[in-house]
Structure 1
């Protein structure tokens, strides 16, 4: 299900219409829109809660955006911009699908999102769940996908914390486990910090020691050990377990129906997501 609802949410990061909607309210530059859009459900917060909740961004990168972005657009304006841009993007991508298809998909995805309840322990998930429901199917669909996405992300952060992985170690470890380095090296950490993270993971027995003849920016010489691969899978399993509760609201047959409905929407949305992306998102496949 993640591979099908994540692309719906992710148009807000990759589609030109989403970027234009942020720029229309004064949020020029990719990262202003990104931090404003994701943080807006929390209100006009400063950097500390966002550093904690977003997890893998260097603190100085967050403080560059917050709280100054709220002088350009307040949270309500940012929320309207992100929903407008996402809906326009999805409308462009799904124009061939009947309205009833989109409406039924939104309705079923909302049932899953409502299964979160108050989403205890999930700060971003709960903040998005508390937002008003959209007026139109694509708005409802995007908001439900976003709530489920942030709920899952909160659980993933909890799994990383439980595994005693700090933010830059998390990124270095993910690269060693197959994600292209260039997709994650824009989050504000220096080459030295990346190299130090690799060294800590090697000392822990999760990565092979880095080859000193390579530069830190390549991250090519560190590979996971057998212990590191087991630890990686344990975090992924914990994330999936923590994300499972919303789907208990749907019967197996309804889940199958939702997957069938979501698949063409997700495949269309995936067309605007780069093959090398910081989400690690594969192409949605028929179940």
Structure 2
């Protein structure tokens, strides 16, 4: 489900929504990112957004929150994000946007996305408080975003459970992909001394060896985190019976394929 839902939710971070936010006075991509994604939390301070988003380095959120709220309100950001994300999704999937089955798929995805408990899932809860769009493409995007952030909140729980901080999580991911931490897109810009200290901390726990590679223990920790994330992401789909879940999967597959093709 992650592979089918994630491409729909992440159209939010593509060119069309970015340009829509820039047109409203945002200075760069990250202003629009934080305005749109944090908007369901209301006028939460940077410290709260940092805690909920979990994996940004110290100070990164504060470069954008609360500055963006001097240019746009959270309510306006929610509306811009929904409108532009639906437009981006429609553009990317082409004829599938007008498929007679899309409304049914959007309804099934929405049933799943609005069925899970909100306790302990701050960003998911914020999204659940929003109105569900009526237009099918926007409704599908909204459902995918709910499911994505439900999973993300659960992933943060898995990281906390295993005492892995946000920057540490990026280091583990980079090393699992065979990359050096200072090559990885989300953290390559951090000061070398800061990254070295994070890696030293992981080395001290036996998760990274002297050559800067993951140890067996490091790989096992990361696998346990991913397995727990999957387990915690499952409850929304419990509301669907087997036939409905199969129907949802069948309907999402060509959409995910079209989005993948659009990215290439």
Report the TM-score, using the length of structure 1 for normalisation: 0.86
How far does residue 28 in structure 1 lie from its aligned partner after superposition? 3.3
CA 1:55–1:179 in structure 2 vs 1: closer, same or farther (change >3 Å)?
farther
- Within a 5 Å distance, the mapping from 1:1-150 to structure 2 comes to 1-14=1-14, 16-97=15-96, 98-117=98-117, 119-150=118-149
Q: Give the Cα separation in 1 of the matches to 2:25 and 2:112.
A: 34
Correspondence for 1:236: 226
Q: Give the Cα separation in 2 of the matches to 1:271 and 1:67.
A: 36
Moved more, 175-184 or 105-114: 175-184
Number of equivalences: 260
Q: Give the Cα separation in 1 of the matches to 2:79 and 2:92.
A: 20
How far does residue 256 in structure 1 lie from its aligned partner after superposition? 1.2
Q: Give the Cα separation in 2 of the matches to 1:79 and 1:49.
A: 18
Q: Give the Cα separation in 1 of the matches to 2:147 and 2:124.
A: 7
CA 1:272–1:38 in structure 2 vs 1: closer, same or farther (change >3 Å)?
farther
CA 1:78–1:259 in structure 2 vs 1: closer, same or farther (change >3 Å)?
same
Q: Does 1:227 align with 2:208?
A: no
Contact in 2 for aligned 1:9/1:149 (Cα 8 Å): yes
CA 1:73–1:161 in structure 2 vs 1: closer, same or farther (change >3 Å)?
same
Q: Give the Cα separation in 2 of the matches to 1:136 and 1:111.
A: 15
Correspondence for 2:205: 204
Gap runs ≥5 in structure 2: none
How far does residue 166 in structure 1 lie from its aligned partner after superposition? 1.6
CA 1:77–1:179 in structure 2 vs 1: closer, same or farther (change >3 Å)?
farther
Correspondence for 1:285: none
Contact in 1 for aligned 2:167/2:187 (Cα 8 Å): no
CA 1:53–1:24 in structure 2 vs 1: closer, same or farther (change >3 Å)?
same
Q: Give the Cα separation in 2 of the matches to 1:115 and 1:47.
A: 29
How far does residue 179 in structure 1 lie from its aligned partner after superposition? 6.8
CA 1:183–1:273 in structure 2 vs 1: closer, same or farther (change >3 Å)?
farther
Contact in 2 for aligned 1:25/1:77 (Cα 8 Å): no
Q: Does 1:249 align with 2:239?
A: yes
Report the TM-score, using the length of structure 2 for normalisation: 0.94
Q: Does 1:189 align with 2:190?
A: yes
Higher helix proportion (structure 1 or 2): 2
How far does residue 270 in structure 1 lie from its aligned partner after superposition? 2.6
Find the residue that maps to 2:90 and give its secondary structure.
helix
Runs of 4+ in structure 1 over 4 Å off: none
Q: Give the Cα separation in 2 of the matches to 1:154 and 1:126.
A: 10
